[in-house]
Amino acid sequence: MEEKEQKRNGNRFYQKLLFQLFMYFALVICMFAILLSVIYMKLYEKSTINTFRDDLAKKAERIAQNVSVYAREKDRTGFSAYFAATKSVFDQKETDIYIVSNMNSAFALDEGYTNCDSERLMGDELPKAMVKILKLAFEGNVASSSGYDSLYYRQSVRVAVPIKDSGGNVSGAIMIVSVPQDQMILYSGQRYIVISSIAALIISFIVSIFLAGKFSRPISKMRKIALRLAEGDYEAKTDIHHGGEIGELASSIDILSDKLKENEEVRNNMEQMRRDFFANVSHELRTPITVMRGYSEMLVDGVVTKEEKKLQYYQRMLNECKSMERLVGDLLTLSKMQNPDFEIEKEPVNLVQVFNDIIRGIHVVAAKKNIALTLQYSDECIMMLGDYDRLRQMFLIILDNAIKFSNEDSVIKIDIEVHNNIAVKITDQGIGIAAEELPFIFEKFYKSRLRQNAQGSGLGLVIAKQIAIKHDGRIEVESELGKGTTFQFIFDKTSVEVL
């Protein structure tokens, strides 16, 4: 039920990474586009109004100069003709012109050269913005303003310039108000900016979808691969070759896939080894138990009555007990050696002394087959760090096998050499090991089918290998059928300071 809920939630579009990335891109682009559009429109509006205002100011200054000339020459006829022509031109552009007398000045412009009642106009008839720039003009300044006009009920631009007489006194002012055509140009420009911004937004959204998809597709693929890995499909790979963190994440998932595959193979091998181990142990224990049961039943049932025969049966039962004891002991030793937490106690050991000890104990067994044991070494004292008893057990396993599989009247050579490392060679003149058997001789319970190995447990070489590993060494084997076998032990050379 929970899995279905997760799948259902995963299919919701607004929860998908593609949609979320798109929304992030779109939000940023929208904010940027709106901000840029507002800033650009304000700059465009300011630039347009300033240009238009400067143009009006120049026209107003020319009119003021002409009015000043007509007033100074007292040419009302010429003024009337000039003003009529000028007003006609301005009317076509829907622009109003005001010629106002400076009533507060002793040099006020004659009302005959104005087109409005100056006293009433400066009263309550004009908006405050117009009155303000007129007062500035009466002070001899060129003034302007723009904004919503309550007189015209729209946005307007206003410019006022002073009219000066021949003495430089301000006698009046020219005020020009608004040009709706230029205002429409401003609105048209702003409209183009808005349309361009919308078009840019649409294109940006398309690009955002593409970019969001480019980012989300690898992540979606990695999610699917992760689910396949969770289901046990360790062959799954992302096959994503991408730079940056996404590529590193994909590479990490591929590495994880390889590691999981390796671990799965190891786990399967371990499981198979475990099954084989229990099967082999069961087989090895079942055979002596079956033999002992058979002998015991015969003795209990009285089938065997002769004392000599009974003693033979008792001896065989004892041999089977020893065989089981040896098998259990080998299993315990192997288990201990294979435990990664088991640490052997190392101390300085003289390998020459170890082999002298081994030869003293095993020469009796070798003598039964008239086998000679020779020991050669370069120095009387060849030291290494190790566990004396474990090293003795390891070499004894190899020598025991060498005697077991050697022919009578043969020689087993032991050579200890010291160069960059310590090498111990044990060479026999026995029957040898077949090439196809060499890869398996260190596996648990592996035994050759030769009669000489009938009593073996198949654990000796495994134990020897584990002891060598615990001493940071390795075992190499060379063998040829009919000529003999050489086991070579290689250990790191121990410095004098460590010893």
DSSP string for residues in 412-468: EEEEEEESSEEEEEEE--BS---TTTGGGTTSTT---SSGGGTT--S-HHHHHHHHH
- 156-206 pLDDT, tens digit each: 788 888 888 877 887 777 777 765 555 556 666 667 777 877 887 787 777
pLDDT of residue 353: 93
Contact indicator for 98, 63 with CB cutoff of 8 Å: no
Those residues whose C-beta lies under 8 Å from the C-beta of residue 108, and which sit 6 or more positions away, are 101, 102, 171, 172
CA–CA separation, 395 and 414 (whole Å): 10
Contact indicator for 173, 161 with CB cutoff of 8 Å: yes
Dihedral, CA atoms, 163, 166, 170, 172, nearest 10 degrees? Answer: -40
Q: Is the pLDDT of residue 286 over 80?
A: no
> Mean pLDDT for the chain?
79
Contact indicator for 366, 329 with CB cutoff of 8 Å: no
CA–CA separation, 229 and 43 (whole Å): 58
Phi and psi torsions of 177, nearest 5°: -125, 125
| Least confident segment among 49-58, 72-81, 381-390 | 49-58
Contact indicator for 222, 249 with CB cutoff of 8 Å: yes
pTM of the model: 0.46
DSSP state of 342: -
Q: Is the pLDDT of residue 19 over 90?
A: no
Vertex 393: Cα angle to 387 and 396 (nearest 5): 135
Q: Is the pLDDT of residue 14 over 50?
A: no
Nearest Cα to 138, choosing from 178, 109, 113, 176? 109
pLDDT of residue 107: 79
Phi and psi torsions of 452, nearest 5°: -65, -20
Q: Is the pLDDT of residue 47 over 60?
A: yes
Residue that has been written with the tokens 């009285």 in this structure = 302
Other CB atoms within 10 A of residue 258 CB: 11
- 63-111 pLDDT, tens digit each: 888 888 888 888 888 888 888 888 888 777 777 888 888 877 777 788 7
Contact indicator for 408, 452 with CB cutoff of 8 Å: no
244-336: CATH class = mainly alpha
CA–CA separation, 337 and 469 (whole Å): 9
For the chain, what percent of residues have pLDDT higher than 70? 81
Other CB atoms within 10 A of residue 188 CB: 10
Q: pLDDT-based confidence at 121, cuts 50/70/90?
A: low
CA–CA separation, 289 and 310 (whole Å): 18
Residue that has been written with the tokens 């002793």 in this structure = 106
Q: pLDDT-based confidence at 395, cuts 50/70/90?
A: very high
Q: pLDDT-based confidence at 17, cuts 50/70/90?
A: low
Vertex 23: Cα angle to 249 and 208 (nearest 5): 75
Which CATH number is associated with domain 22-188? 3.30.450.20
- 309-340 pLDDT, tens digit each: 888 888 888 877 877 777 677 677 767 776 77
pLDDT of residue 276: 66
CA–CA separation, 113 and 101 (whole Å): 8
The residue extents of the domains of the chain are: 22-188, 244-336, 344-492
CA–CA separation, 327 and 103 (whole Å): 133
Which CATH number is associated with domain 344-492? 3.30.565.10
| Least confident segment among 5-19, 68-82, 258-272, 407-421 | 5-19
pLDDT of residue 144: 81
For the chain, what percent of residues have pLDDT higher than 90? 11
Amino acid at 463: I
pLDDT of residue 496: 53
CA–CA separation, 96 and 251 (whole Å): 76
Q: pLDDT-based confidence at 2, cuts 50/70/90?
A: very low
Q: Is the pLDDT of residue 132 over 70?
A: yes
DSSP state of 334: H
CA–CA separation, 322 and 271 (whole Å): 30
DSSP-based helix, strand, coil % in the chain, nearest 5? 60, 15, 25
Contact indicator for 25, 211 with CB cutoff of 8 Å: yes
Tell me the mean pLDDT in the region 129-142. Answer: 82
- 122-131 pLDDT, tens digit each: 666 677 778 8
pLDDT of residue 452: 47
